[in-house]
Amino acid sequence: MAFTTMNNFNYFAKIVVTSVRFAATATQQSSYSPLFSFYHKDLKIVQIDQSQMKPKPTSWDNLKFGLYSDHMMEVDWHMHNGWAPPLISPLHNFNLHPGAKVFHYAIELFEGIKAYRGVDNKIRMFRPDKNMERMRKTAIRASLPDFDGDELMKIISNMIILDNEWVPYSNASSLYIRPTLIGTDPTLGIDFSQQAKLFVLTGPVGNHYLGFRPIALLADPGFVRAFPGGVGGYKMGSNYAPTIMVGKLAKDMSCQQALWLYDSDEKITEAGTMNIFVYWINEQGEEEFVTPPLTDGLILPGITRDSILEIANEWKKFKVTERYPTMAEIKRSLKEKRVDRHLFRRVPTPND
Ligand SMILES: *Cc1c(COP(=O)(O)O)cnc(C)c1O
């Protein structure tokens, strides 16, 4: 994979953005206008009082959930005025009208980016340009306003510089960055939101499944995460609310997550909120690495997925295929010992 350092971010004191440059999908905006985007040059920063700063975690390896850095970023949009100047300020609550569309129709989308502290003490975000690209596509699908992804990336870099002491000094942990876009229009009509707010939170997080222990998945064809023509391919909050109960059911059955199946042939689509890959000897006797395709809108186009595919294709050690593995194929491969049994085994249920 060709990692390049973006040299147009010359103000980066500590942050190096490593990313694969991609052909810009959006038309380049030639002029500065709040109708197109907010801009890093307009960024206002209100720094937290030394006395208000929260204590940093005592250990970076055993992080609690729900930790936030000292600052956040927010920027408001209005249909007629466009984007207001972006603001970085101490983490605070919002004052929103209870009629805001986000509360009623879930007009919301989000992203998840990670920044890591390297052994060289430099802080790097992992392919944030890809998150920007995905966020903008989702904004369009959600009828929320578009913006310049490079500008948001520069503002996020500025946030990390400000809160750089929140980036874990550990290779098991990272700084999670959560850009979010919500419809704030207080009219209850089911229509596009004439007002919106984009905000970014950051906070240190540990490794989800530390030590790469295998996880147990509940594969129940009675639940569907996404469907053709739906929005499973977009990171919208509305995709996740219906999955919470299934995740709880999975845990009640001693599983960590749901394995999402689709259609009567039980296509394997995703695991929890992760893309899935199967490595096996396929039915033609070939060493094969399979992941579901992005073509039907059932799969969230993960940046980890994209990176793994790119590396695997470059590697040329085995066949790399984008198609849906089915439960029947998994069962056959288990029976015929073509897949690692430690990775796919049946978990005893209370009824056994
Ligand atoms: C966020 C997410 C992923 C992973 O995306 P990355 O860009 O690799 O972090 C996969 N599946 C779902 C459903 C997701 O929400």
Better pLDDT: 300 or 344: 300
Element containing residue 278 per DSSP (H, E): strand 278-281
- Residue 13: pLDDT over 50: no
Q: Of 125, 103, 102, 129, whose CA–CA distance to 114 is shortest?
A: 125
Is the minimum distance from the CB of 304 to ligand 1 under 6 angstroms? yes
Residue 127 has pLDDT above 70, yes or no: yes
Q: Tell me the C-alpha distance between 122 and 316, whole Å.
A: 32
CA-only gyration radius of the chain, Å: 22
Asked whether 274 lines ligand 1 (CB < 6 A), one says yes
pLDDT > 70: what percent of the chain?
86
Look up the pTM and report it. Answer: 0.89
Convert the pLDDT of each residue in 188-212 to its tens digit. Answer: 999 999 999 999 999 999 986 556 6
Q: Give distance in angstroms: CA of 130 to centre of ligand 1.
A: 12
Cβ of residue 243 lying under 6 Å from some atom of ligand 1: no
* Cβ partners under 8 Å of residue 178, min gap 6: 110, 111, 112, 113, 200, 201, 202, 203
Q: What does the block give as tokens for 23?
A: 């052909």
CATH topology match: 2-10+214-335 vs 32-206: no
Is the pLDDT at 9 greater than 60, yes or no? no
Q: Which atom of ligand 1 is nearest to the CA of 307?
A: 8
Residue 2 clears pLDDT 50, i.e. is over it: no
Cβ of residue 270 lying under 6 Å from some atom of ligand 1: yes
| Alpha-carbon torsion angle 82, 87, 90, 94, nearest 10 | -10
At residue 287, the pLDDT reads: 96
* pLDDT value at 155 more than 80: yes
DSSP one-letter code for 186: -
CATH architecture of the domain formed by 32-206: 2-Layer Sandwich (3.30)
> Which residue's CA is the closest to the ligand 1 atom numbered 14?
273
Q: What is the DSSP string of 106-150?
A: --EEE--EEEEE-TTS-EEEESHHHHHHHHHHHHHHTT-----HH
Which letter does DSSP use for residue 84 in this model?
P
Tell me the residue type at 295: T
Indicate the domain borders of the chain.
Answer: 2-10+214-335, 32-206
CA distance 110 to 128: 13
- Percent of the chain exceeding pLDDT 90 equals 82
The CA distance from 124 to 127, in Å, is 9
Distant-in-sequence, close-in-space partners of 77: CB < 8 Å, separation ≥ 6: 83, 84, 145, 195, 196, 197, 198
Q: How far apart are CA 164 and CA 181, in angstroms?
A: 24
In this prediction, residue 30 carries a pLDDT of 57
Architecture of the domain delimited by 2-10+214-335: Alpha-Beta Barrel (3.20)
CB distance 129 to 149 below 8 Å: yes
Mutate to test the pocket of ligand 1, among 113, 274, 304 (most ligand atoms within 8 A of CB): 274
User: Contact, 196 vs 76, CB < 8 A?
Assistant: yes
Query: What integer pLDDT is reported at residue 348 of this predicted model?
Result: 54
Furthest-apart CA pair in the chain: how many Å?
Answer: 66
What's the chain's average pLDDT?
Answer: 89
**Which 3 state secondary structure label does DSSP give 58?**
coil
Q: Is 76 in the pocket of ligand 1 (CB under 6 A)?
A: no
Q: What pLDDT shows up at residue 4?
A: 36
CA 7 to centroid of ligand 1, rounded, Å = 28
Q: Give the model confidence (pLDDT) of 279-320 as tens digits.
A: 999 999 999 999 999 999 999 999 999 999 999 999 999 999
pLDDT band at 20 (very low <50, low <70, confident <90, very high): very low
Residue-wise pLDDT for 222-238, tens only, equals: 999 999 999 999 999 99
What is residue 207's predicted lDDT score, i.e. its pLDDT?
A: 80
List Cα–Cα distances, 329 to 8, 101, 159, 290, 325, in angstroms. Answer: 48, 44, 47, 12, 7
Confidence at residue 215, expressed as pLDDT on a 0 to 100 scale: 83
Q: What does the pLDDT average to over 237-246?
A: 97
For residues 260 and 222, what is the distance between their CA atoms, to the nearest angstrom?
Answer: 10
Q: How confident is the model at residue 345 (pLDDT cuts 50, 70, 90)?
A: low
Residue with tokens 């509940």: 218
pLDDT band at 109 (very low <50, low <70, confident <90, very high): very high
Residue 31's pLDDT is: 77
| Angle subtended at Cα 346 by Cα 342 and Cα 351, rounded to the nearest 5 degrees | 150
Count of CB atoms situated within 10 Å of the CB of 286: 11
The whole-number pLDDT of residue 347 equals 52
What's the confidence (pLDDT) of residue 208?
64
